[in-house]
Amino acid sequence: SADLAKLKAELGALSKDHFQMDDIALVRYLCGFGSVQNSFAAIRAAAYLSKTKADLLKSAEVEQSAPCAGKIEPYSKFHLWESGDRMLFIVPVAQTDFKPLMKAASEEDIINYSLHTARRLWNWVDRTSRRCGRIMKYEVVCDFTGFSFLTMPPRAYVKAMSQMSEMSEVLHPLSMGSTTVTGLPGAHLARRLSSMFRPFLPKSMAETQICCGDRTKQSPASCPYLQRHFADDMRSLDSLLGRICPVTGHAAKMESDWTEKKLVDFEAHVATLDPESTEIKTISL
The predicted-structure confidence for 229-281, as pLDDT tens digits, reads as follows: 565 544 444 332 333 333 334 443 433 332 333 333 334 443 444 444 434 33
Q: What angle do CA 182, 186, 191 make, to 5 degrees?
A: 80
Tell me: pLDDT of 4 over 70: yes
Out of 104-108, 140-144, 152-156, pick the least confident: 140-144
Fold of 53-273: Phosphatidylinositol Transfer Protein Sec14p (3.40.525)
Flag the least confident range among 9-23, 45-59, 196-210, 241-255: 241-255
- Residues contacting residue 56 through CB under 8 Å, at least 6 positions apart: 66, 67, 112, 115, 116, 119
pLDDT mean over 94-103: 92
Distant-in-sequence, close-in-space partners of 62: CB < 8 Å, separation ≥ 6: none
The yes-or-no verdict on residue 131 having pLDDT over 70 is yes
The average pLDDT across 154-170 equals: 92
- Residue-level pLDDT at 245: 38
Least confident residue range of 92-106, 134-148, 157-171, 195-209: 195-209
167 falls in which pLDDT band (50, 70, 90)? very high
User: With bands split at pLDDT 50, 70 and 90, how would you rate the model's confidence at 142?
Assistant: confident
**What per-residue confidence (pLDDT) applies to 178?**
79
CA distance 246 to 186: 11
Q: What are phi and psi of 245, to 5 degrees?
A: -65, 125
Residue ranges of domains in the chain: 53-273
Q: 244 vs 148, 192, 225, 241, 257, CA distance in Å?
A: 27, 21, 10, 6, 20
Higher pLDDT, 272 or 121: 121
Mean pLDDT of 63-84: 87
In a 10 Å sphere around its CB, with 0-12 CB exposed, 13-18 middle and 19+ buried, how is residue 266 labelled? Answer: buried
Cα torsion at 193, 199, 200, 205 (round to 10°)? 80
Average pLDDT, the chain: 74
Residue range 56-72: average pLDDT?
A: 92
User: What integer pLDDT is reported at residue 199 of this predicted model?
Assistant: 54
Q: What is the mean pLDDT of residues 91-105?
A: 91
Provide the residue count of the chain.
285
